[in-house]
Amino acid sequence: MQMTSSQIFARRDSSVLADDGDHRAYAGSLGSNVHLPGEWISSLIGFIGDVLPGWRDDPIRPAHAGETALTAQLCARLTSASRHAPGWDFLQFKREEPDDTNAGRSIDLAVAPSGSVIWIDGREYTEYQTLLPIECKRLPTPTGTKRDEREYLYSRFGTTGGVQRFKAGHHAAKHARAAMIGYVQDHDIPAWTTQFDQWIEGLESEAIEGWSAADRLAVLEHNRTTRTASLRSDHARRTGLDGIRIDHLWIEM
């Protein structure tokens, strides 16, 4: 049986050690080391994307439309899937996790090690640290007096925009990669890609600080059968922070 790239990257056991050092587990610490290549994050995002259609179509999943309830359901499904998928059982999925650098702000969904110390490009991650921060948004944005229809990207009412938070460093300031999940509840994915291009053009023409055509989302794959898509965007951030890459996973609900 041929393994996927995500399984190849992720299939590691506790005996794996880095070539350039011996990272022993001390008393009271996690008991195993997993060393992964930097591009393993892409495989992790692929795993999450693969879980989405089965989660949406699960006949026993209670019907909900709200972002909080949907994200809670998805977190539970991802946790279960990681326990039963070869090569992913050293991960945990957590909701409303405090941001690494802004503890007063919470991440909708966070991926962290479970029972292992994970090393990626020389950086150590324990079960108390986030490997991948994920923001979740509904499309369209729910209506309200303080809601901006562009809230997935940007909000004129504050710093509640999804991409906006990453660009400003309010979320994931220590991370070079992040992800967003879009729950498409009206229209379809092609309609939203067109709308996003228009919104980003508008932010640039309005001279909103930090926004330009470089912030556009590029469609990597659109699966019309599963009604899902993967997109990617790269963003400059405020002074003192390196840029960030955001992978976007959209699913028509």
| Number of domains composing the chain | 1
pTM, to two decimals: 0.87
d(CA 250, CA 253): 9
Nearest to 199 by CA among 232, 165, 155: 155
Q: Please report where in the chains the tokens 């919470």 appear, as a residue.
A: 106
In terms of residue numbers, what domain contains 35? 5-252
SS3 226: coil
Nearest to 9 by CA among 135, 115, 118, 122: 118
Instruction: Tell me if 161 sits within 8 A of 229, measured CB to CB.
Output: no
Q: What angle do CA 171, 173, 179 make, to 5 degrees?
A: 55
Instruction: Tell me if 208 sits within 8 A of 197, measured CB to CB.
Output: no
One digit per residue, the tens of pLDDT, for the chain of length 253 reads 444 434 333 333 333 333 334 433 333 445 678 899 989 999 999 999 999 999 999 999 999 999 999 999 999 999 999 999 988 999 999 999 988 788 778 899 999 999 899 999 989 999 999 999 999 999 999 999 999 999 999 999 988 899 999 999 999 999 999 999 999 999 999 999 999 999 999 999 999 999 999 999 999 999 999 999 999 999 999 878 999 999 999 999 9
In the chain, what is the greatest distance between 2 CA atoms, to the nearest angstrom? 57
Q: In the chain, which residue ranges form alpha helices assigned H by DSSP? A: 5-10, 40-57, 67-84, 162-168, 189-205
Task: Count other Cβ atoms within 10 Å, centred on residue 241.
Answer: 16
